[in-house]
Structure 1
Amino acid sequence: MRISKRIASAAPLATTAMHGRVDQMKLMGQEVIDFSIAISHFAAPESVRDAVSEMALRTVLPYTAVGGAHGLRVRLAEKLSTENSVDARPSEIIVTNGAKQALYEAMYAMTDPGDSVIVFRPYWPAYLATSRLLGLEVVLVDLPEVLTGAVLDALPPARLLILNNPHNPTGKVFTRDELDALESWLARTGCAAIVDESYEKLLYEKSHHSLSSSARWRELGIVTLFSASQSYAMMGWRCGFAVGPADVVSAMETLQGPITAAPSALTQVACEAAFFSGEPHRLVSDYRARCALVMDMLSPVPWMRVRSPESGPYIWVDVTALGCDTVAFAESLLTEKHVAIMPGDALGMPGFIRMGFISDDIATLRKGLAAIIAFGPQMKQNNR
């Protein structure tokens, strides 16, 4: 069977591919500690489970409008106003099967093949994969310590810029000043923006600000993505939404209609319950303690350079001192020690590794970290 050129040249996301390999090893009876992805050991909020259980017992689960039930979009507009200082109408919101669908639809609606899109490195791999599927020219830019007007003015012309705030994998949270600089640059250049705020609740230090809280977000062409997956421990529920200018959201609905139509009625009920379940204080407190444990174990390691993240479920580690290929490091670690990590190559930065620290129990976390720490010198010796 002939496969189209546009998909034949594509490859599965490295992040999901590694997790798939771990699942296969487990199915074969092998014990594996999986730091390659972030799957919370917390359950979804009780209010979510209760709401979905009640809905599932109804005789009829209805279709809704493609962009989501009107009542849900009204409620999400309330969330945006209260929590993100974003003034949006229900018609400017679309409910999706997770943030990935919202990302694909927004990029499809906002670009044409051959357009340039700016992506900061290291990146979430879906940004690159989606760009390539859509025939876009990706401009990779190293994530700066501080996003300033001077940094932005050095960027080449582009149709679209993608910002992850809070940032996966580094855990950086952009300040209000940085977002103000970005807003001014967008106004000067006419470049549009997609801002992925999937980690908005997983904050350890700084406050989170939305770029779309700007009064000019519509005219600047800013689309913001939200997800329940990480902030509410709902990875498998596939529950997200986007807010953007009405014409962009309408175009996204046109695309979503023939692909999935609206998310399921159960997903939409879960979406409302999640985003109105309150701040995930216990979850964040647990993650903060785990993060401190990871930092305590990794900071003294001479071949690791690590900075405590301001948010998120990952630790981003510079291991260039090992002098080895980080893909080979990850492969050998998985094969020999049954510990999975994500090589930075998959996120655009060879010489780094990403480790999720929110799965399993503390004893397993310690065991996996100890295995990595002990394995590094072995890899370094093998490379001599």
Structure 2
Amino acid sequence: MNISARIASSRPLATTAMHGRVEALRNQGEPVIDFSIAISHFPAPGPVLDAVATAIDQQRTMPYTSVVGALKVRENLSAKLRLENHIDADTDEIIVTNGAKQALYEALYVMTDPGDRVIVFQPHWPAYVATSRLMGLTPILVDLPDEITPAFLDTIEPAKVLIINNPHNPTGKVYTRQELEHILAWVERTGMQVIVDESYEHLIFEGEHVSFAALCDWRKVGVVTIFSASQSYAMMGWRVGFALAPKEIVNAMQTLQGPITAAAPYMSQLAAVAAFACGTPGEMMADYRMRRDLVVQAFSEVPWIIMHSPASGPYLWGDIRALTMDSVDFSEELLGASQVAVMPGDALGVPGFIRIGYISDDVATLMDGVRRIIEFGNAYKGVANR
């Protein structure tokens, strides 16, 4: 059986590959605690479940919609953008997608040609780099500083597209308005287009989310903004998101999406409308904050890890370089010896770190997993278990 050259050299996305390994182990009866990705223990919001139940009860037949999404759905999303994000957008500048990954793939596909350069700040969500490479693009990986300044940006050679992740996965950084303004001035001066992933817009503990497109003439600059219900509304399995982009880009994305999946499922579109109308999920965020603080406190006196308290997001980003141990080896040996799965920083562009998804399961399981990580690291470091 022959496999095409364009895929033969590619590898499965590291995050989904690790999760797949965990599921395989669990199917074999192994009680693995999975911190490798973030799957919320919360259900989807009540209004989402009610909207879908009502549609099933009253409509029965679920129609195909236009590839970009049902008009009523896009009208509601346009209103969300205006009220929450302070962005004016027409319905023909919105496309509903099967999650953020599809929106990213389509946007990159229609904005670039093979060989073009794409700037990605690292650590990064693995899909940015994997998607770029699948398309024959050249990802330019730039270390993300604590603060974005004009002097820092001037050290970077411009590219065709800049990808921004705000709030940031995995560090939890929330870009300030001033940082975004510095980036805007830079891209306007250099002529770069921008893809902004704002999937975690409601998962903020400290700071304020500012949409990049609200700061500029986003149509003229060429800004694509991606939103997703997966993390902000505990809807990982619903696979629904949407993108805001200039009409010409949306039309091109529609041309690509049509023969691949056509429209997102009608039920998911209805769910998206209900979800994005919910605003910030207060109860869920209070629970996440409590979990974040528990885990950060548990690691605070462990000498071989530095675990900062993130300003946003469902992940913790731990520096384990004091172990002088390869983070891939750490993750593999931890999984084998202690039955805990974490994501090595190598998969996100920065060796020597681990990413921990802390929102799954109950608190007792969470803290049991943390205890196992600490005991494993202590044993390697030669520190007496506490």
Q: Which TM-score bucket, shorter chain as reference? A: over 0.9
Residue in 1 that maps onto 2:43: 43
Deviation at 1:377, TM superposition (A): 2.5
Residue in 2 that maps onto 1:200: 201
State the AA in 2 paired with 1:32: V
**Structure 1, residues 331-360: CA drift from partner, whole Å, max 9, x if none?**
111111100100001001110000010001
* Aligned partners of 2:304 and 2:381 also within 8 Å: no
Residue in 1 that maps onto 2:170: 169
* Aligned partners of 2:33 and 2:365 also within 8 Å: yes
State the AA in 2 paired with 1:320: R
Residue in 1 that maps onto 2:353: 352
Q: Distance in 2 between matches of 1:312 and 1:59?
A: 37
The size of the alignment, in residue pairs, is: 382
**Structure 1, residues 163-205: CA drift from partner, whole Å, max 9, x if none?**
1000000000000000000110110000111000000000101
Alignment of 1:1-384 (within 5 A): 1-57=1-57, 58-380=59-381
Deviation at 1:153, TM superposition (A): 1.3
Deviation at 1:50, TM superposition (A): 1.3
SS at match of 1:128: helix
State the AA in 2 paired with 1:67: V
Q: Distance in 2 between matches of 1:59 and 1:279?
A: 31
- Uncovered stretches (5+) of structure 2, i.e. residues with no partner: none
In percent, how many aligned pairs have the same letter?
59
Deviation at 1:300, TM superposition (A): 1.1
State the AA in 1 paired with 2:243: A
**Structure 1, residues 135-179: CA drift from partner, whole Å, max 9, x if none?**
001100000111111111111120001010000000000000000
SS at match of 1:102: helix
SS at match of 2:163: strand
Q: CA RMSD in A?
A: 1.0
State the AA in 2 paired with 1:312: G
Deviation at 1:381, TM superposition (A): 5.0
Q: Distance in 2 between matches of 1:64 and 1:150?
A: 47
* Aligned partners of 1:316 and 1:353 also within 8 Å: yes
State the AA in 1 paired with 2:278: S
The runs of at least 4 consecutive aligned structure 1 residues that moved more than 3 Å come to none
State the AA in 2 paired with 1:317: G
Q: Distance in 1 between matches of 2:169 and 2:216?
A: 27
**Structure 1, residues 289-336: CA drift from partner, whole Å, max 9, x if none?**
110101110111111112110000000000000001111111111111
* Aligned partners of 1:329 and 1:379 also within 8 Å: no
Q: Distance in 1 between matches of 2:333 and 2:92?
A: 50
Give the TM-score of the pair, scaled to structure 1. Answer: 0.98
* Aligned partners of 2:97 and 2:264 also within 8 Å: yes
- Uncovered stretches (5+) of structure 1, i.e. residues with no partner: none
Q: Distance in 2 between matches of 1:363 and 1:378?
A: 22
* Aligned partners of 1:118 and 1:141 also within 8 Å: yes
